[in-house]
């Protein structure tokens, strides 16, 4: 197999791009580094393309390795034939390789194995030959008290067990039947017990759908229902057709032996083949569903992490609760904690006026302009309280409800204990909620990605696959934004290209001991941060107000000479980089005058690299999140009972699944915009239309207060 050609064809990229990317990966370069600083080599493959390429490369290399292992194992048994060689060479999946290996793989003690121990293999060969002759007369030759064969009937039964296993192990039969299942099977579910009544799985109590058509979210729902003991699930096919297919390949005569082969074929199908292929079909469906769900979760997480920060605001974080009260923290514009307290505006205490006085005093004392409310228990009551309180203030204050998913995980973590050793768990949670509004990325990187909770069925996903995929998303986001090396937490630094947790701790220790970094190259003094790591991480780390202005840009140190040459061509110096619009106009004008091709030649870098340098010099220290729509801060609250069908509102997309988008419209319960209601045109997947954090116009289609459900539409509104 030519792995590079396979990857190029599957990802629809040029072979030269694949070759370059594979070479760079094999040399130990990180994906963010390759995506940002090796564009000329890869033809500008982005982070997601490079991750897909890397995943596929790993799979195909493992496939080739497994082929060699199987080839060697079969060869050791002296059973390797040109046909098997050809089948192995053409096998495109690990499952196909295992099907080829099945007849030769050491087995547990099976019925066929026991029959072989009794010496019945020659009898099986006699019956399978389907020549004329009485099989029971032949079987009398195998009766043996010593071997445990008491009668001719027992001998024949054992021989049929051998034939059934041989039929089951036949790769061609497996391939043909597997194809039939893939094209025609149904996934079916029923209630596991008759006395089960209402549950979230009611739609699946008597359900059937073709495996070729069933949406991935339904597969995950059925799987979970089965795990919880509510559903019984099976794969249904035309059994008669399957058995007839096996007969057509095994029954070659019309005599007593052929009749026995027919019986063995039916037994092979029902006892061995169907259960095996059913497991494979279920496994394939689940794997496909998990892959799709992880992609949705990853896309949602990417959008959540890249939400624009609310900069320059002193923020109050409110972690709602009933009995234990609402935990409050006030943090300054940089996230530094200024004060903490607890108030009890919600039931059972209802100390609303006391809470107003305490929080109003904090707002005035510290100049709070934004309040961040966690969306957990008592969130709606807290939101009503806050909306009422800020209407009575002399200064403008707005609020936003933020997801507190994972906040409790962070609060109890070792990282939180190190960051706030004198705070209890609830106080840490309130700080995290405040900072999530100020800078979602910097705060959410402290939490294990799968605990952030933006997706569908994330807790049902394979943990290793989920962690790897989501870790990659976080890494891409962190490196896309860039990190201030003098303020970043260990958690944030750990996601910078080339830096692991150990080196991140060393960076923090170095700046605490030396008073911070004054230039990028000082990183080489950090313990265990060598030249390769520096190459990978330097461009993503910023040193604001350092001795080298280029250190506060995404220009890589290897391109500083080119950047300086460009500034020289524009009649500027490094000191002019922060000169705002005047410097930007000069750079832009010079590039237009020379043309990007000539400018690249004069500066000695590729055109794509030069374009990136130009962007950085025109907006040094830029944050790509600043170019996105700002989050919607509120000053009032809507109650679900005040909603009416046909009402039009603005909302924020909070979560996206395969079947639609959940939108926060200012009530405690997010409304669902079903995929069919997202646009006036056909929508293949919600992610094609909306993303987490989008501000959208919606109209209320229906309200079910009993089930706390709100149906929305976006058709004709956006």
| Confidence at residue 405, expressed as pLDDT on a 0 to 100 scale | 79
What is the structure's pLDDT at 638? Answer: 61
Cβ 217 vs Cβ 225: under 8 Å: no
**Which pLDDT tens digit goes with each residue over 648-675?**
888 888 889 889 999 988 777 889 999 9
Whether residue 502 has pLDDT greater than 90: yes
What's the pLDDT score for residue 378?
87
Q: First and final CA of the chain: distance in angstroms? A: 48
Residue that wins the pLDDT comparison between 413 and 583: 413
Helices (H) and strands (E) in the chain, counts: 30, 15
418 or 253, greater pLDDT: 253
Euclidean distance between CA atoms 686 and 657, whole angstroms? 7
What radius of gyration, in Å, describes the C-alpha atoms of the chain? 33
What gap in Å lies between CA 300 and CA 82, rounded to an integer?
Answer: 49
What pLDDT digit, counting tens, does each position of 505-521 carry?
A: 999 999 999 989 999 99
Within 505-558, strands assigned E span 541-542
Alpha-carbon span 116 to 137, nearest angstrom: 19
Q: What is the rounded average pLDDT of the residues 5-10?
A: 96
Mind listing the pLDDT tens digit for each residue in 518-541?
A: 999 999 999 999 999 999 999 999
Task: Give the range among 176-180, 271-275, 412-416, 480-484 with minimum mean pLDDT.
Answer: 412-416
Q: Does residue 619 register a pLDDT over 90?
A: no
| Residue appearing with tokens 């496909």 | 288
Task: Give the containing element (helix H, strand E) for 698.
Answer: strand 695-704
Q: Which residues are bridge partners to 373 per DSSP?
A: 318, 401
pLDDT tens string 180-202:
999 999 999 999 988 887 788 99
Q: How confident is the model at residue 262 (pLDDT cuts 50, 70, 90)?
A: very high
Q: The tokens 């990180």 sit on which residue?
A: 30
Q: What's the average model confidence in pLDDT over 693-702?
A: 90
Cβ neighbours around 58 below 10 Å, total: 11
- Choose among 139, 173, 324, 150: nearest CA to 251: 173
DSSP label of 495:
T
User: Over the stretch 30-61, which tens digit does the pLDDT of each residue have?
Assistant: 999 999 999 999 999 999 999 999 999 999 99
> What pLDDT does 90 receive?
92
Question: What is the rounded CA–CA span in Å between residue 275 and residue 277?
Answer: 6
* Residue 684 in tokens: 């293949």
- Low-confidence winner among 191-195, 435-439, 632-636 (lowest mean pLDDT): 632-636
CATH superfamily of 3-75: RuvA domain 2-like (1.10.10.650)
For domain 640-713, give its CATH number from 3.10.150.10, 3.30.70.580, 3.40.50.300, 2.40.50.140: 2.40.50.140
Q: Residue 140: is its pLDDT beyond 90?
A: yes
DSSP, res 268 = I
Tell which residue, 457, 452, 463, has the closest CA to residue 225.
Answer: 457
Which pLDDT belongs to residue 385?
93
CB neighbourhood size of 675 (10 A): 21
Give percent above pLDDT 90 in the chain. Answer: 69
pLDDT: is 406 or 230 the higher one? 230
Q: Are 649 and 638 in contact (CB under 8 A)?
A: yes
Helix (H) or strand (E) holding 223: helix 216-227
Tens digit of pLDDT for each residue in 193-235? Answer: 888 877 889 999 999 999 999 999 899 999 999 999 999 999 9
- Asked if the bond preceding 242 is cis, omega within 30° of 0, the reply is no
Q: How confident is the model at residue 637 (pLDDT cuts 50, 70, 90)?
A: low
Dihedral-angle region of residue 387 (phi above 0 means left; psi in -120 to 50 means alpha; beta otherwise) = alpha
* Alpha-carbon span 59 to 295, nearest angstrom: 18
User: Residue 622: pLDDT band by 50, 70, 90 thresholds?
Assistant: confident
Residue 631 has pLDDT above 80, yes or no: no
Residue 616 has a CB neighbour count (10 Å cut-off) of 21
CATH for 510-627? 1.10.150.310
Please, what is the average pLDDT of the chain? 91
Q: Return d(Cα 283, Cα 133) in angstroms, integer.
A: 44
Q: Give the CATH architecture of domain 316-438.
A: 2-Layer Sandwich (3.30)
Q: List helix spans (H) across 12-90.
A: 15-26, 31-37, 39-42, 47-76, 82-90
Q: Where are the domains of the chain?
A: 3-75, 316-438, 510-627, 640-713
pLDDT of residue 485: 96
Residue 676 has pLDDT above 90, yes or no: yes
Residue 682: pLDDT over 70: yes
Q: What count of Cα atoms within 13 Å lies in the side-chain half-sphere of residue 457?
A: 25
Give pLDDT, residue 584. 79
Q: Using 50, 70 and 90 to split pLDDT, how confident is the model at 635?
A: low
Strand-pairing partners, residue 565, are none
415 in Cβ contact with 446 (< 8 Å): yes
- What is the per-residue pLDDT for 453? 66
Strand-strand pairing, 483-484 and 370-374: unpaired
Q: What confidence score (pLDDT) does residue 32 get?
A: 97
What pLDDT shows up at residue 450? 78
More confident residue, 634 or 594: 594
In contact, 347 and 332? CB cutoff 8 Å: no
Phi then psi for 578, rounded to 5 degrees? -85, 20
Q: Choose between 621 and 514: higher pLDDT.
A: 514
Q: What is the mean pLDDT of residues 355-384?
A: 92
Q: Are 411 and 426 in contact (CB under 8 A)?
A: yes
> Which residue is associated with the tokens 């005093």?
361
Look-up of token digits 């990229």: 13
Q: What is the pLDDT of residue 128?
A: 96
pLDDT at 707 over 90: no
Residue 346 has pLDDT above 80, yes or no: yes
Residue 455 pLDDT more than 70? no
pLDDT digits (tens, 9 = 90+) for 605-618: 999 999 999 988 88
The residues with which 221 forms a beta bridge, in sequence order, are none
Mean predicted confidence (pLDDT) in 69-77:
95
């Amino acid at each position: 197999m030519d792995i590079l050609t396979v990857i190029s064809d599957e990802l629809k990229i040029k072979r030269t791009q694949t070759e370059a990317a594979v070479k760079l990966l094999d040399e130990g370069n990180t994906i963010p580094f390759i995506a940002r600083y090796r564009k000329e080599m890869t033809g500008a493959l982005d982070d997601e393309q490079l991750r897909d390429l890397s995943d596929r490369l790993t799979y195909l290399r493992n496939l080739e390795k497994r082929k060699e292992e199987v080839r060697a194992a079969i060869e050791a048994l002296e059973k390797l034939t040109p046909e098997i060689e050809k089948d192995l060479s053409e096998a495109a999946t690990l499952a196909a390789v295992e099907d080829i290996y099945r007849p030769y793989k050491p087995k547990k003690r099976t019925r066929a194995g026991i029959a072989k121990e009794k010496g019945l293999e020659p009898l099986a060969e006699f019956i399978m030959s389907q020549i004329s002759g009485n099989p029971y007369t032949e079987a009398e030759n195998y009766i043996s008290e010593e071997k445990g064969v008491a009668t001719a009937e027992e001998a024949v039964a054992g021989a049929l067990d051998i034939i059934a296993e041989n039929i089951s192990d036949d790769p061609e039969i497996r391939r043909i039947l597997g194809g039939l299942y893939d094209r025609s099977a149904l996934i079916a579910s029923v209630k596991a017990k008759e006395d089960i009544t209402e549950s979230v799985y009611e739609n699946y109590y008597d359900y059937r759908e073709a495996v070729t058509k069933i949406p991935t979210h339904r597969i995950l729902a059925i799987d979970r229902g089965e795990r919880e003991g509510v559903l019984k699930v099976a794969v249904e096919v035309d059994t008669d057709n399957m058995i007839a297919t096996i007969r057509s390949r095994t029954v070659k005569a019309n005599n007593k032996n052929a009749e026995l082969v027919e019986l063995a074929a039916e037994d092979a199908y029902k006892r061995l083949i169907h259960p095996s292929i059913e497991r494979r079909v279920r496994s394939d469906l689940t794997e496909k569903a998990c892959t799709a769900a992880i992609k949705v979760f990853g896309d949602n997480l990417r959008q959540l992490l890249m939400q624009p920060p609310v900069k320059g605001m002193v923020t109050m974080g409110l972690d709602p609760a009933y009995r234990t009260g609402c935990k409050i923290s006030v943090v300054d514009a940089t996230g530094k904690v200024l004060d903490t307290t607890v108030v009890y505006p919600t039931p059972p205490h209802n100390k609303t006026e006391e809470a107003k006085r305490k929080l109003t005093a904090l707002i005035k004392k510290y100049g709070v302009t934004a309040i961040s409310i966690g969306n957990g228990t008592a969130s709606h009551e807290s939101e009503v309280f806050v909306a009422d309180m800020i209407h009575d203030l002399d200064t403008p204050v707005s609020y936003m409800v933020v997801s507190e998913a994972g906040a409790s995980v962070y609060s109890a973590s070792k990282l939180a204990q190190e960051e706030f050793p004198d705070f209890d768990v609830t106080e840490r949670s309130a700080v995290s909620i405040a900072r999530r509004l100020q800078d979602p990325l910097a705060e959410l990187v402290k939490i294990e990605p799968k605990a952030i909770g933006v997706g569908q069925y994330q807790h049902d996903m394979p943990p290793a696959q989920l962690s790897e995929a989501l870790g990659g998303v976080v890494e891409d986001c962190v490196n896309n934004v860039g990190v201030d090396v003098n303020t970043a937490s260990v958690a944030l630094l750990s996601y910078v290209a080339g830096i692991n947790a150990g080196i991140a701790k060393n960076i923090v220790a170095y700046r605490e001991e030396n008073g911070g970094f004054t230039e990028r190259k000082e990183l080489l003094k950090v313990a265990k941060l060598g030249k390769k790591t520096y190459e990978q991480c330097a461009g993503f780390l910023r040193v604001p107000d350092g001795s080298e202005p280029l250190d506060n840009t995404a220009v890589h140190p290897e391109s500083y000479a080119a950047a300086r040459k460009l500034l020289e061509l524009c009649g500027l110096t490094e000191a002019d980089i922060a000169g705002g619009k005047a410097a930007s106009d000069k750079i832009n004008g010079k590039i237009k005058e020379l043309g990007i091709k000539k400018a690249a030649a004069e500066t000695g870098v590729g055109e794509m690299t030069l374009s990136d340098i130009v962007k950085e010099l025109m907006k040094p220290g830029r944050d790509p999140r600043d170019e996105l729509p700002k989050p919607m801060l509120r000053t009032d609250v809507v109650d679900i009972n005040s909603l009416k069908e046909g009402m039009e509102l603005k909302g924020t997309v909070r979560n996206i699944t395969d079947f639609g988008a959940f939108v926060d419209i200012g009530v405690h319960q997010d409304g669902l915009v079903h995929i069919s209601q997202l646009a006036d045109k056909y929508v293949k997947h919600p992610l094609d239309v909306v993303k987490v954090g989008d501000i959208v116009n919606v109209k209320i289609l229906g309200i079910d207060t009993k089930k706390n459900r709100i149906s929305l539409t976006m058709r004709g509104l956006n």
